[in-house]
Amino acid sequence: MGFMCTFVKTLQNYYDMITRMRRRLFFAIMMMVTTLTAMSAVYEPSLTSDSEVCVFFEANGTVNDTPKIWVWAGNTDGKLYVGTDWPGAAMTYMGDTQSGNKIYKWTYTGSLAMPTGLIFTWNNQGGRVDLSYTNHGYYVMGQLTKVIGVGESTFVPNHHVIYELDLYNFTSQGTLAAAQQRLDYLKDLGVDVVWLMPIHPRGILGRIGTLGSPYAPRDYYAVNSDFGTLADLQAFVAAAHSRGMQVWLDWVANHTAKDNVWITQHRDYYNSTLTSPNGYNDVYQLDYSKEATQVAMINAMEYWIDNADIDGFRCDYISSNTIPTAFWTRAITALKEYKPDKTITMLGEGDMANSVPRLLVCGWDYDYAWGFQSALVNNKNNPAGVLAQCKNLVGDLRFTDISRMVYLTNHDQNYNSSMNTQYGNNAYAFTVLTFTLYGMPMLYNGQETGYLMSRKLDYFNRTPINWNSVDNKMLNTVKALTALKHSCDALIDNGDRASEVTFLSTGNNNLVAYTRHHNDQTALIVLNLGSSTVNSVVTGLEAGEWKLAIDVDNIAAGLTAIPVTLNSTQSITLPAGGYKVYYKGEPTPEWQNGDIDHDHEISINDVSMLISFLLSRTPVEPELLMRGDIDHDGEVSINDVTALIDILLRGH
C-alpha cells in the first residue's frame, strides 16, 4: 500500500512538471518568428514621429506596375479610409536593392486611430497583401518574407477523422442525450472528432423554416432547449472523451440572430445602423471595430471551455471582411492560452489557399479545402482535371504549420445537392481520394451509410436520417478507410507532403495513381475516374510484397490485408469508378509503443526517460519516435508523457 501511495505521488509530481513544461514551451513558441516563402516583402510600418506613419514595400520581378496602398484607420471594414478611393494611392518609387527588387514608400502625416488597416495591391489588383498595424505590434497576412506578432498554430501531425453532426437530424429524438447513445457507433466508425453544429437557441425574428437557422444564434451562453441542457452537453462531451474522441463546437462570430440577447443588453456591440450581412434577413451584423465586441466574443467562447470542456471550435464565415484579421489572431491566441494544460484546436470555414490567404498566419490549425471540393464537382467527368487539382492541393507549401479539412459534402453542400448530383459514379472513388491524399477527412452525418447519395438534409427543418437505409458499398468503404487512416503511418496528416506524395504514371488518363510514404510505411492508391473499365500499367512502384487493403471488387469484406506481389511496372484493372488501396510496411507494434528503456514493459522509468529526453532537446531518432510517440501524432512531445502516465494509471 505504501508503494502504491508513493507511486501515485510520483506520477502527480510528473503531472505538475508537465504543466510547468507546457507553460514554458508555449511562451517560448510565442516568442518565435515565423518565416514564410516570399513573393514580395512588406517592411514594418514605423511611427517616424508622433504624427507620421511610413511604410515600405519591396517588389520583386513579379510586380510589373506601381503598387498602390489603401488605408483606413480605427477599423478594418474600410469605412474610414485615408486618402483616395479604392484601390488607393500609388506608392513612391525609392530605388532598387542590390538584388534588383524595387523599393516603394508611402508616408502619412497626421494622427491615425489604431488599428490601422493597409491593403497593398499590384499588377492591376492581381496581387494583394493585407496588413493590420496596431499599438500591440503589427500583423502581416499573405505570402511574405517575415512575419512578426502572428498567431501560433498548435497543429501537430495526426490521423484524425472529423464528423459533422446535426443534432436535429442525427437521431429521431434530436437531442444531445439521444446522440450520446450513438457515440459507440461513431467510435466504431472511426471518428476522432465530433463537430457539433451550433448548439445555441435559434433566432425567432425572421426565422427560416420551422427551426430557424443554426447560424442565427440567440444566446451565446445557452444550449438550445430542444437539444437538452448544459448538463446534457457536459455528459455528451464526457462520454466522447471517455471513448477517446474530441468535441468541437460550431461558432458563429460574424453576426447574431435579430433577437439575440445582446440586442437589448449590449446594443453597442452592433453597427450604429443595424444591418443584415449578405441579405440574411434573420441576423444582424456585429461591429468588430469596437473593443467591447471583440472581448465579449472571446469571453463567450472561453465559457464553453470552462463549462463543457470542449476541445475546439469550427468558426463560421471567417472570410467576412467585417471581422479584422487581427481579431482572429487575438481570439485564437487567447483560446489556446486559456488553459495551459488543454489544447484547443481551431478550424476556420474559409479557403486560405484562395479567398482568404490573409488568415494563414492567425494561428488556425485547419481551414477548408473549399476550392478542391469545388474542383472535384466541376471535374467529376474530367480525370485529368482532378489530377491537376490533386497536385495543386499537395503542392501548396504555404500549408506547413496549418492543415486542411478535405471533404465532399457538408450541411451547405448537401442542403443544395445530393452526392449523386455532385459527383455521379465517382462519389465512391472521391471518398477514397479525400481519405488518402492529404489533410483531415470529414464526414457529414449520413454520408457514411450512403444516405446522402440521393438525399438532402434540411437543417432549417426536421429531416431525420433513416439509419436503416444503408449502402453497404459506401459504409464498408468508409469503415475500411478510417481503419487504414488510423493504422497506416503513410496516411498521417502532416506538413511534409512534397516529399511524401508521389504521383505515378498510369498510361491512361482515366487512371489516377499515387503513393504516400511516411516512416517505414507506404500506401498506394489507384482510382479509375473514367466511365468504363480500365486495364493499364502503373509505373514507378516499389517492387515487392504489398498488402491489398481496400478493393472495390470485394469491399463487402471491409478492410482486408491480402498479400500481393507488385512489380515496379504493374498492370492493374479497375471498373469505372473503381479503386484499390495497397500498403507495405508494418505499423509500430503496440507493445513497443511506450517502452522507452527497451525492457519489454512499460513502467515509471519509461516516463522518467521520456521527460529527460524532452528536457535535453536533442533530435528525435527513428527508434525513439517509434517507441515514444504514444499518441501517434508523428512527434515526441509533452502530450506523449501525459499519455504514457495515463497508460500506467490504467494499468495500476
Q: Is the pLDDT of residue 35 over 90?
A: no
Per-residue pLDDT, averaged over 308-333, amounts to 93
Instruction: Write the single-letter amino acid at 583.
Output: Y
- Could you tell me if residue 47 is inside a domain? yes
* Cell reading at 366: 485547419
Name the pairing type of β-strands 562-566 and 246-252.
Answer: unpaired
Do residue 117 and residue 203 come from a single domain?
Answer: no
Q: Which of 593, 647, 619, 580 is nearest to 432 (CA)?
A: 580
Do residue 517 and residue 377 come from a single domain?
Answer: no
- Could you tell me if residue 284 is inside a domain? no
Per-residue pLDDT, averaged over 543-561, amounts to 88
**Interatomic CA distance for residues 235 and 516, integer angstroms:** 39
- Could you tell me if residue 157 is inside a domain? no
Residue with cell 514608400: 105
Structure confidence by residue, pLDDT tens digits, 400-435:
778 999 999 999 999 999 999 999 999 999 999 999
Instruction: Write the single-letter amino acid at 364.
Output: W
Domain boundary among 558, 584, 610: 584
Q: Which residues contact 625 (CB under 8 A, 6 or more apart)?
A: 519, 635, 636
Q: What is the pTM of this model?
A: 0.73
Do residue 577 and residue 618 come from a single domain?
Answer: no
- Can you give the residue range of the structural domain that contains 377? 162-255+290-491
pLDDT of residue 622: 52
What's the CATH code of the domain at 485?
A: 3.20.20.80
Domain boundary among 119, 147, 175: 147
**Interatomic CA distance for residues 289 and 269, integer angstroms:** 9
- Could you tell me if residue 281 is inside a domain? no
Residue with the bigger pLDDT between 75 and 214: it is 214
- Could you tell me if residue 447 is inside a domain? yes
Domain boundary among 101, 116, 147: 147
Do residue 483 and residue 519 come from a single domain?
Answer: no
**Interatomic CA distance for residues 518 and 488, integer angstroms:** 9
> What is the count of structural domains for the chain?
4
- Could you tell me if residue 274 is inside a domain? no
Residue with the bigger pLDDT between 101 and 75: it is 101
- Could you tell me if residue 597 is inside a domain? yes
What's the CATH code of the domain at 505?
A: 2.60.40.1180
Percent of residues, the chain, with pLDDT higher than 70: 76
pLDDT of residue 354: 85
What's the CATH code of the domain at 87?
A: 2.60.40.2440
First to last CA, the chain: 12
Q: Is the pLDDT of residue 132 over 80?
A: no
Do residue 520 and residue 541 come from a single domain?
Answer: yes
Do residue 305 and residue 344 come from a single domain?
Answer: yes
User: What number of CA atoms fall less than 13 Å from residue 268's CA on the CB side?
Assistant: 7
- Could you tell me if residue 210 is inside a domain? yes
Handedness of CA 47, 48, 52, 53 (dihedral sign): negative
Residue with the bigger pLDDT between 203 and 116: it is 203
| Beta-bridge mates of residue 645 | none
Q: Is the pLDDT of residue 215 over 70?
A: yes
Do residue 414 and residue 329 come from a single domain?
Answer: yes
Structure confidence by residue, pLDDT tens digits, 491-550:
988 766 656 899 999 999 999 999 999 888 999 999 999 999 999 999 999 999 999 999
Do residue 234 and residue 327 come from a single domain?
Answer: yes
Per-residue pLDDT, averaged over 385-400, amounts to 87
Do residue 476 and residue 531 come from a single domain?
Answer: no
Do residue 62 and residue 120 come from a single domain?
Answer: yes
Do residue 475 and residue 607 come from a single domain?
Answer: no
Instruction: Write the single-letter amino acid at 441.
Output: P
The Cα-based distances of 418 to 162, 427, 455, 516 in angstroms read 20, 10, 6, 30
Instruction: Write the single-letter amino acid at 521.
Output: Q
Max avg pLDDT among 74-78, 87-91, 242-246, 620-624:
242-246
Do residue 465 and residue 536 come from a single domain?
Answer: no
Q: Which of 138, 72, 79 is nearest to 285 (CA)?
A: 79
